[in-house]
Chain A
């Protein structure tokens, strides 16, 4: 699986959009970008994934650059409950192997 690079921490004001970047310059053509988050003292939670088109679900939006070397997870209206570590993971879709978690980005949503 391709390696990803994320900033170690970010702050966001409550109610504002949180934009979390991820670099994955060595991504292969058959690899997808997945995002998970881990709220303190809980197990990781799947958020969203995508290949090359922008994706949106009830939790977030995922914007992938045209060259697929980077992506941004957008939480449109961050709440205090969105404070968590966010992990960007690149892997082949429908792969049943283990997830490789990096250090992620610690997002702190502040009132």
Chain B
């Protein structure tokens, strides 16, 4: 079946502009996660959704970062007034919940954001 998809795959923006990154999770997955990975660095957690609510936003690096999820499906990560240090690959993952499911996270291909 279809996996997690993200768009755009690449985004180049000028410093100070706002950007929106989109994630389409696997159908039926109730949990959705955003991570980012800077060049040569490990994966850094940003935010976690359960349904449309975000019980854990602890990883968002500043108030320029926000995310929403609608209809328990698509999520959008918005970065306002982008800075060069925001350049990274932004990864989305989703997982299912329920009897007999072990909650593995399935990742999308990522959006590579470059702030010039």
Real binding pair = yes
B contact residues around A98 at 8 Å (CB) = 33, 35, 45, 48, 56, 59
Q: Shortest Cβ distance from A38 into chain B, in angstroms?
A: 8
Whether A103 and B45, one on each chain, are in contact in the complex, defined by CB atoms closer than 8 angstroms, is no
A residues lining the B interface (CB < 8 Å): 34, 42-46, 49, 93-104
- For B93-116 the 0/1 string (1 means CB < 8 A from A) is 101010001111111111000000
The answer to whether A43 touches B104 (Cβ under 8 A) is: no
The 6 closest A-B pairs by CB, nearest first: A43-B107, A98-B45, A101-B43, A46-B104, A44-B107, A96-B31
> Given the known A-B contacts A98-B33, A103-B42, are A46 and B109 also in contact in the complex, defined by CB atoms under 8 Å?
no
List chain B positions with a Cβ less than 8 A from chain A: 4, 31, 33, 35, 42-43, 45, 48, 50, 56, 59, 91, 93, 95, 97, 101-110
What are 7 A-B interface contacts by the 8 Å CB criterion? A46-B106, A96-B48, A98-B33, A98-B35, A98-B45, A98-B48, A99-B43
B45-A43 in contact (CB<8A): no
Cα A95 to Cα B60 with chains together (Å):
20
A42, A93, A99: the one within 8 Å of B102 (CB): A93
Residue among A45, A97, A104 making CB contact with B48, cutoff 8 Å: A97
Query: Is the CB–CB distance between B43 and A96 below 8 Å?
Result: no
A100/B45 in contact, CB under 8 A: yes
